[in-house]
Amino acid sequence: MKDLIVIGAGTAGLTAALYAARAGKSVLIFEKEGIGGQIATTPIVENYPGIQSISGIEFADGLYEQVLALGVELEVDEVLKIEPQKDHHKVISSTKEYVSKAVIIATGSKPRLLGLSREQELTGRGVSYCALCDGLFFKKKSVVVVGGGNTAITEAIYLSTYAEKVTVIHRRDVFTADLNLMKQAQEKSNIFWKHNTVIKELIGAPSLSALTLENTKTQESENFSVDGLFVAIGQIPQTEYFKDLVPIDSEGFFEIGEDCQTLIPGLFVAGDCRKKAMRQLTTAVADGANASKAVY
Ligand code: NAP
């Protein structure tokens, strides 16, 4: 019997564990993939208060070490089900079953796919969802980043240090990335821009070698030679396993307020899997603290 089980070792989950452990609670975190979640794949973070610049992995490692030092346990396994009971909850993973007085779901989100027919086949063969993980493979090559948000522009800036040419393709001419990031990207001489453009087809075998692009204003098509494609078109919340317990909105995010409390006593949600106006490192940290306070 634990005081708290946290599902997901991203920023929200680790922060919740940090606060709960500091309040003297016994805490177990489940993580199915990598410690740190999304921030661990972010090349550089420059908007966390008090830290001028830090790599995402360094930030995640620091947070992980901080919770380990407080005695928090980690189980590398996927939680498939939560069974709420009267005064505790069962947490069922692919191999084990635990009980806990409280559970925080902090499962975050995963990259959205373009939905093109050969996308899965070419993933790892030129198509990537993580510049930090795969950027080095494209040293002195030509790559495309698709998307117009903070992730796309951060990745384009990172890739511009390795690749010979980075082309940002966005379906509109208005970007949602922060102005400061846009300015940094626009100052790079090897970043090029294609607005009002969508990718219609991935070409190449066994690896990606070109894209068929279409201009959404003129409907003109072109064949665009490329070595790599980095997809950064937003995130899909990982809420599937728990949507019977906690209501979700039309995009799949948990419809739970800032207090992170669900209608089931002892069950909470935190971080990017929750419906919210802004998904940032700062708001993930805030959710972790709020959820932990609610648990306490
Ligand atoms: P996002 O802000 O939701 O942006 C997604 C981008 O992809 C938008 O430009 C969107 O275009 C485009 N898009 C969506 N579906 C598409 C499709 N099917 N085909 C082509 N383009 C498509 O996602 P994000 O950039 O991953 O950011 C997620 C959250 O993390 C945001 O809150 C962001 O601020 C935060 N974040 C912050 C930082 C930072 O502060 N340094 C870094 C990374 C992420 P439309 O605009 O036309 O919809």
pLDDT of residue 177: 97
Query: Which neighbouring-strand residues pair with 31?
Result: 76
Q: Is the pLDDT of residue 165 over 90?
A: yes
Check whether residue 14 and residue 161 sit in a common domain: no
Average pLDDT on 247-276 reads 97
Per-residue tokens: 153: 């522009």
Chain mean pLDDT for the chain: 96
Q: Among 14-18, 89-93, 130-134, 238-242, which stretch is predicted with the lowest mean pLDDT? A: 130-134
Residue 231 in contact with ligand 1 by CB distance below 6 A: no
Check whether residue 121 and residue 220 sit in a common domain: yes
Check whether residue 74 and residue 137 sit in a common domain: no
pLDDT of residue 271: 98
d(C-alpha 38, C-alpha 283), whole Å: 13
Contacts of 219 (CB under 8 A, 6+ apart): none
- Give the model confidence (pLDDT) of 180-201 as tens digits: 999 999 999 999 999 999 999 9
pLDDT of residue 41: 87
Check whether residue 89 and residue 158 sit in a common domain: no
The residue among 180, 200, 231 that closes a domain is 231
Q: Pick from 109, 151, 153, 181 the residue to mutate for probing ligand 1's pocket: most ligand atoms within 8 Å of its CB.
A: 151
d(C-alpha 84, C-alpha 32), whole Å: 21
Specify the long-range contacts of residues 60-64, CB closer than 8 Å, at least 24 apart: 60/11, 60/14, 60/35, 60/36, 61/35, 61/36, 63/11, 63/14, 63/15, 63/18, 63/36, 64/9, 64/14, 64/35, 64/36
d(C-alpha 147, C-alpha 177), whole Å: 10
Q: Is the pLDDT of residue 17 over 90?
A: yes
Check whether residue 52 and residue 132 sit in a common domain: no
The owner of tokens 């089980």 is 5
The residue among 231, 246, 272 that closes a domain is 231
Check whether residue 216 and residue 122 sit in a common domain: yes
Check whether residue 117 and residue 215 sit in a common domain: yes
> Quick check: 111 and 33 in contact, CB under 8 A?
no
pLDDT of residue 119: 96
Say how many Å lie between the CA of residue 251 and the centre of ligand 1.
14
Q: Is the pLDDT of residue 179 over 90?
A: yes
CATH code (residue 70): 3.50.50.60
Check whether residue 240 and residue 147 sit in a common domain: no
Question: Active site residue: 3, 61, 133, 260, which one?
Answer: 133
pLDDT of residue 44: 87
Average pLDDT on 135-150 reads 97
Q: Is the pLDDT of residue 52 over 90?
A: yes
- Give the model confidence (pLDDT) of 7-16 as tens digits: 999 999 999 9
- Give the model confidence (pLDDT) of 56-89 as tens digits: 999 999 999 999 999 999 999 999 999 999 999 9
pLDDT of residue 22: 98
Say how many Å lie between the CA of residue 149 and the centre of ligand 1.
4
Of the pLDDT bands very low, low, confident and very high (cuts 50, 70, 90), residue 133 is confident
Q: Structural domain of residue 22, as residue ranges? A: 2-110+235-295
Residue 142 in contact with ligand 1 by CB distance below 6 A: no
pLDDT above 70 as % of the chain: 100
Of the pLDDT bands very low, low, confident and very high (cuts 50, 70, 90), residue 43 is confident
How many domains in the chain? 2
Check whether residue 188 and residue 254 sit in a common domain: no
pLDDT of residue 286: 98
pLDDT of residue 199: 98
Check whether residue 200 and residue 274 sit in a common domain: no
d(C-alpha 164, C-alpha 6), whole Å: 42
Specify the long-range contacts of residues 85-94, CB closer than 8 Å, at least 24 apart: 87/266, 88/1, 88/266, 89/5, 89/266, 89/267, 91/5, 91/7, 91/30, 93/30
Check whether residue 67 and residue 145 sit in a common domain: no
Check whether residue 106 and residue 241 sit in a common domain: yes
Average pLDDT on 234-259 reads 96
Query: Which neighbouring-strand residues pair with 191?
Result: 166
